[in-house]
């Protein structure tokens, strides 16, 4: 009998971080209906040695490529080795599903049989991160509803056309049904396309599944950032040598087109996001056409102008003349929208230049542990936490301390009845005249005696009683 869930952990020469991620899942899921699959992208022997005991005890499955693959090719190799009914990708420095929500997630899969379910992630900056104010800290978004929603898929894809979407299922915060991935592969060769396997897979899975996509508006896992992360090269304050990781990432593509089907080949973060939608348009033209799914070109142009100017992030792979190249492309598509986008960009650049001058006067080390209006950041050193495995054990306590819903602490949630329109938390959704609320229900009689674990389970399990959250 196949397991209910396969946790697929792609890895490449990061054994020091990998061992903590694997331990967090092995300690919890061993002898449960869950497969832990580590896929090794032709690493040095240290990777196998770090896992050898678990492999021999049968606690994890281990597969290895016979040569070094690009990241999209490796992800494609990895998911096909999984045997579970559902699949979850998990980076080798992440804990994408923390211990306090694992049983609830298995219950959710059993009870609701979703095609896909996504959620929010917190962020863990591992020790040896280059910024002292962020090194060994855990941060997460606080202005969330705590609800579980079933979304209309075309709505999600149209929102993604704005090159951002609040509720889009990023592949590292997503569980999907394997039979849907098999269907995509049969029609279109693969689910993980270059350049963005974590986004192209989600776009194609959404288009194939068409329905039963749920989103948990709560950070039930965390992503990791370390000195070896691909993303470090985009940090403007990172050492210059960190840009080499970005170049290595592309060298592994060989002669493969890194942005198939995308009309403008400029290597920036927002174009990374946009290229995934181009793959979807190519592979599912009838579905995208029927539901009017396309780029919001003014938003796309605006964000690309910001990216190429490197206002907030470094773009290590920009080429000389990329701004002029993009400007010509934008005006050839829609001159009026391009000019509007450029005016917006100039205003943001003016504000960003002022903010940059102000930040020079701040002491970053005073910001190691703080609570802001929408985010909390915790100094893990204060709790003697030094890796992802140890953070996994404490994350629930941090969430309990900092989360509020409608002004209530999380552990007081069930002491009152409540109905919350989504636009109270995200005002821009009010413009769409959404008539939707969270489920209203009576609190348990024994609420004062409920443990925090029972309350968490109720959040995931009870609040979703057939909530329908459709946008058209």
Q: Residues 93-134: pLDDT tens digits?
A: 999 999 988 988 998 899 889 999 999 999 999 998 988 889
Helix (H) or strand (E) holding 218: strand 213-225
pLDDT digits (tens, 9 = 90+) for 259-304: 999 999 999 999 999 999 999 999 999 999 999 999 999 999 999 9
Quote the radius of gyration of the chain (alpha carbons, Å). Answer: 22
Domain containing residue 286 = 243-359
Residue 455 lies in a domain: no
pLDDT digits (tens, 9 = 90+) for 148-182: 777 888 989 999 999 987 889 999 999 999 999 99
Residue 49 lies in a domain: no
Residue 44 lies in a domain: no
Residue 428 lies in a domain: no
Residue 120 lies in a domain: no
DSSP state string for 19-57: HHHHHHHHHHHTTSSEEEEEEE-S--THHHHHHHHHHHT
Number of independent structural domains in the chain: 1
Residue 310 lies in a domain: yes
Nearest to 175, CA basis, from 99, 81, 84, 92:
84
| Reported pTM | 0.86
Cα-based torsion angle of the residue sequence 307, 275, 286, 72 in order, rounded to the nearest 10 degrees: -150
Q: Encoding tokens for residue 158?
A: 């149209």
Residue 335 lies in a domain: yes
Residue 92 lies in a domain: no
């Amino acid at each position: 009998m196949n397991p209910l869930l396969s946790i697929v952990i792609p890895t490449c020469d990061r054994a020091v971080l990998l061992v903590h991620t694997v331990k967090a899942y092995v300690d919890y899921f061993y002898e449960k209906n869950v497969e832990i699959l580590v896929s090794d992208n032709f690493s040095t022997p240290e990777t196998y040695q770090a896992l050898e005991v678990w492999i021999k005890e049968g606690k994890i499955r281990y597969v290895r490529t016979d040569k070094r693959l690009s990241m999209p090719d490796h992800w494609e190799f990895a998911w096909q080795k999984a045997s579970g009914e559902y699949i979850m990708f998990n980076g080798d420095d992440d804990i994408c599903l923390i211990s306090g929500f694992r049983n609830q997630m298995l219950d959710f899969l059993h009870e609701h049989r979703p095609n896909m379910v996504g959620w929010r992630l917190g962020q863990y900056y591992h020790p040896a991160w280059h910024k002292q104010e962020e090194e060994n800290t855990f941060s997460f978004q606080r202005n969330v509803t705590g609800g579980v929603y079933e979304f209309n898929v075309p709505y999600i894809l149209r929102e993604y056309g704005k090159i951002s979407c609040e509720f889009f299922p990023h592949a590292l915060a997503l569980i999907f049904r394997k039979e849907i991935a098999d269907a995509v592969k049969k029609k279109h060769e693969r689910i993980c396309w270059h350049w963005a396997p974590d986004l192209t897979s989600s776009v194609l899975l959404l288009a194939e599944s068409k329905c039963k996509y749920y989103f948990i508006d709560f950070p039930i896992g965390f992503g990791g950032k370390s000195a070896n992360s691909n993303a470090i090269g985009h940090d403007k304050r990172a050492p210059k040598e960190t840009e080499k990781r970005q170049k290595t990432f592309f060298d592994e593509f060989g002669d493969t087109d890194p942005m198939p089907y995308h009309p403008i080949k400029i290597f920036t973060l927002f174009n990374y996001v946009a290229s995934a939608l181009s793959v979807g348009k190519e592979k599912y033209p009838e579905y995208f056409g029927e539901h009017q799914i396309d780029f919001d070109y003014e938003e796309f142009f605006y964000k690309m102008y910001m990216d190429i100017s490197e206002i907030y992030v470094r773009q290590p792979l920009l080429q000389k003349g990329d701004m002029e190249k993009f400007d010509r492309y934008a005006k050839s598509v829609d001159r009026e929208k391009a000019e509007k986008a450029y005016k917006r960009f100039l205003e943001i650049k003016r504000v960003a230049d002022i903010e940059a001058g102000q930040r020079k006067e701040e002491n970053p080390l005073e910001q190691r542990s703080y609570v802001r209006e929408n985010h909390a950041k915790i100094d893990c050193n204060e709790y003697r936490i030094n890796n992802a495995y140890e953070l996994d054990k404490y994350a629930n306590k941090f969430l309990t301390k900092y989360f509020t819903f409608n002004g209530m602490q999380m552990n007081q949630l069930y002491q009152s009845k409540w109905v919350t329109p989504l636009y109270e938390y995200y005002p821009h959704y009010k413009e769409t005249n959404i008539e939707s609320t969270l489920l209203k229900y009576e609190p348990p009689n024994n609420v004062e005696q409920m443990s925090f674990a029972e309350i968490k389970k109720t959040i995931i399990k009870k609040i979703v009683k057939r909530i329908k959250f459709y946008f058209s």
